[in-house]
Amino acid sequence: MKPLVVFTYDFPHKKTQDVLLTLYGLGYPVGWVIAAPWKKLDIPPSAVRVKVKHEVLFHPKQLAERLGAEYIAISHNSEELQELLARIEPELGVIAGARILKKPVIQAFSIGIINLHPGLIPEVRGLDAMQWAIYQDLPLGVTAHLIDHRVDAGRNLIKKRISVYEDDTLFDVSERLCEHQLLVLSDGIERARKELWEELTPSSLHKANSKMPAELERQIPVLFEEYRKRWARKQAEAS
What are 5's strand-pairing partners?
32, 93
What are 113's strand-pairing partners?
93
Q: What is the DSSP letter of 203?
A: G
Which pLDDT score, from 0 to 100, does residue 75 have?
96
Give the contacts of 205 (CB within 8 A, at least 6 positions apart): 122, 125, 150, 153
**pLDDT tens string 68-119:** 999 999 999 999 999 999 999 999 999 999 999 999 999 999 999 999 999 9
The three-state secondary structure class of 11 is coil
- 1-5, 21-25, 44-48: range with highest mean pLDDT: 21-25
**pLDDT tens string 145-181:** 999 999 999 999 999 999 999 999 999 999 999 999 9
Q: What is the number of other CB atoms lying within 10 angstroms of the CB of residue 17? A: 21
**pLDDT tens string 32-73:** 999 999 988 788 889 999 999 999 899 999 999 999 999 999
Dihedrals φ, ψ of 70, to 5°?
-75, 125
Query: C-alpha distances in angstroms, 76 versus 48, 135, 140, 176?
Result: 30, 33, 30, 28
**pLDDT tens string 202-226:** 889 999 999 999 999 999 999 999 9
What domains are defined for the chain? 4-238 (3.40.50.170)
- Per-state percent for the chain, helix, strand, coil, to nearest 5: 40, 20, 45
Which pLDDT score, from 0 to 100, does residue 213 have?
96
Confirm if 89 and 171 have CB atoms less than 8 A apart. Answer: no
Which pLDDT score, from 0 to 100, does residue 42 have?
81
